[in-house]
């Protein structure tokens, strides 16, 4: 997922203490899944953690954890919709 997709999903997700829950059904066309991925923003350590586990389990139930960490220097440039 590139940063523009992440921004769009953050806009349409539910925010719970800087943890954004994105429904799998919003990512995959014709999906009725009630599962979600999470995007966690840590302003102290300047990181974004994306947990793709539920998304990747659709194709492979053996996946136990699929987490991506991104380090940033200016969160305002990432969260804003500016290009």
The predicted model gives 25-30 an average pLDDT of 86
Mean pLDDT across the chain, nearest whole number? 84
Report yes or no: 60 and 43 within 8 Å, Cβ to Cβ: no
pLDDT-derived band at 50 (thresholds 50, 70, 90) equals very high
Question: HSE of 53 in the Cβ direction (CA atoms, 13 Å)?
Answer: 10
Residue with tokens 């994306």: 50
Query: For the whole model, what pTM was predicted?
Result: 0.79
Confidence of residue 14 (pLDDT cuts 50, 70, 90): confident
3 has pLDDT over 80: no
The closest of 30, 40, 37 to 56, measured between CA atoms, is: 37
């Amino acid at each position: 997922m590139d940063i523009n997709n992440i921004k769009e999903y953050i806009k349409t997700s539910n925010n719970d203490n800087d943890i954004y829950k994105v429904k799998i059904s919003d990512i995959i066309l014709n999906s009725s899944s009630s599962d979600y991925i999470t995007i966690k923003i840590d302003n102290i350590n300047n990181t974004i953690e994306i947990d793709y586990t539920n998304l990747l389990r659709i194709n492979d139930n053996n996946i136990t954890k699929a987490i991506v960490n991104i380090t940033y220097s200016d969160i305002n440039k990432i969260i804003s919709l500016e290009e």
